[in-house]
DNA sequence: AACCGCCTCAACCGCATGGGG
DNA sequence: CCCCCATGCGGTTGAGGCGGT
């Protein structure tokens, strides 16, 4: 009985504390990445190998970008997802400083609105419908507040590669939302040749995106691939198809 | 002020994959 | 080959924060 009581009181999600981060960071910086089982044993952290690896990969690694996605990043995610589906690690590989987990969460919470709505309608079919009427427009404002209120790693919106400040970003998002309200999820707009994407296609970690093993590209229009990725490495890959 | 429901995202889980013996 | 182990990946969960009433 006492045991089950203790189990109930124990939080199921074990958030990383700043001191744990410090330990893991210093251990990895000293001994290098890899051998996560050993890391979890020798660092003194009461964490599993997977947990250590995930924490390092998603939060402690150098050059991790925290904060909200820029519009350019958002555009890229949409395009990449249309091409690749839920290949989050591949998509994240095209977004320097972003992790697969972050991209996945961003997609599920901000971009995959239709899917979420369907899911929630299914879950709450006989309960409060309040959210169905207006859940398409206030998510970004909430997100901005949340970004500012980061607990462990409070940071300014460094996500904007071009130095866009938060207020401007919010204004721009509101404009986008108004457009979206008229025709939500308008993929024609995204794939249109008139739809400009400003961010260069910079591979993460100075690596080249490898299309050789991607059967998905066999079925795609080369022009559309160029339209979506617009970089010379793709041209080279396309030549080999 | 208190309660309730929704939203976000960090963390977990299970399966897949790859490499070494 | 087969097995084992480490790592990677994508789906899912749930704690905490927030806004609405």
pTM more than 0.75? no
Same domain as A129, residue A104? yes
Distance in Å from C14's C1' to A112's CA comes to: 20
Question: DSSP string of chain A?
Answer: -HHHHHHHHS-SS-PPPHHHHHHHHHHHHHH-S--HHHHHHHT--S--HHHHHHHIIIIISTT---SPPPHHHHHHHHHHHHHHSS-HHHHHHTSTT--HHHHHHHIIIII-HHHHHHHHHHHTTTS--HHHHHTTTSHHHHHHHHHHT-SSS----TT-TT---HHHHHHHHHHHHHHHHHSTT-HHHHHSTT----S--PPGGG-----TT-GGGGGS-HHHHHHHH-SHHHHHHHHT-
pLDDT at A207 over 80: no
| Residue A196 in this model has a pLDDT that exceeds 60 | no
Q: Residues A126, A44: one domain?
A: no
A240 pLDDT above the threshold of 60: no
CA dist A157 and A224 (Å) reads: 32
Does any strand C atom come closer than 7 Å to the Cβ of A210? no
Does A54 reside within a domain?
A: yes
Q: Is residue A66 part of a domain?
A: no
**What's the pLDDT at A33?**
83
Looking at the fold, whether A98 and A19 belong to one and the same domain comes out as: no
- pLDDT exceeds cutoff 70 at A162: no
Predicted confidence (pLDDT) at residue A48 exceeds the cutoff of 50: yes
CATH number at residue A128: 1.10.10.60
Domain housing A168: 71-198
Both tokens assigned to A25: 């960071």
Residue A33 and residue A82 share a domain: no
Closest nucleotide to A120 by C1' from CA: B6
In the complex, which nucleotide's C1' lies nearest to the CA atom of residue A148?
Answer: C17
For residues A2-8, average pLDDT: 37
Question: Does A136 share its domain with A55?
Answer: no
Check whether residue A83 has its CB closer than 7 Å to nucleic acid strand C: no
* Residues A193 and A212 occupy one common structural domain: no
State mean pLDDT over A35-42.
85
What's the number of domains chain A is made of? Answer: 3
CA–C1' A26–C5 (A): 25
């Amino acid at each position: 009985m006492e045991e089950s009581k203790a189990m109930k009181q124990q939080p199921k999600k074990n958030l990383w504390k700043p001191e744990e981060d410090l330990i893991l960071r210093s251990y990895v910086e000293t001994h290098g990445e890899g051998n996560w089982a050993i890391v979890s044993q020798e660092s003194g952290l009461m964490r599993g190998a997977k947990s250590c690896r995930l924490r390092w990969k998603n939060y402690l690694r150098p050059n991790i970008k925290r904060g909200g996605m820029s519009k350019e990043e958002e555009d890229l995610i949409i395009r990449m997802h249309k091409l690749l589906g839920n290949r989050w690690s591949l998509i994240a590989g095209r977004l320097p400083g972003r992790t697969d987990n972050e991209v996945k969460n961003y997609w599920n919470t901000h971009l995959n609105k239709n899917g979420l709505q369907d899911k929630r309608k299914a879950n709450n079919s006989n309960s409060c419908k309040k959210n169905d009427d207006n859940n398409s427009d206030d998510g970004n404002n909430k997100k901005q507040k949340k970004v500012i209120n980061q607990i462990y790693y409070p940071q300014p919106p460094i996500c904007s590669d071009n130095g866009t400040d938060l207020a401007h970003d919010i204004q721009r998002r509101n404009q986008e939302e108004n457009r979206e309200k008229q025709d939500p999820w308008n993929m024609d707009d995204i794939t249109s040749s008139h739809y400009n994407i400003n961010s260069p296609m910079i591979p993460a970690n100075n690596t080249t995106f490898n299309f050789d093993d991607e059967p998905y590209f066999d079925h795609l229009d080369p022009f559309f691939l160029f339209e979506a990725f617009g970089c010379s490495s793709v041209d080279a890959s396309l030549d080999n198809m």
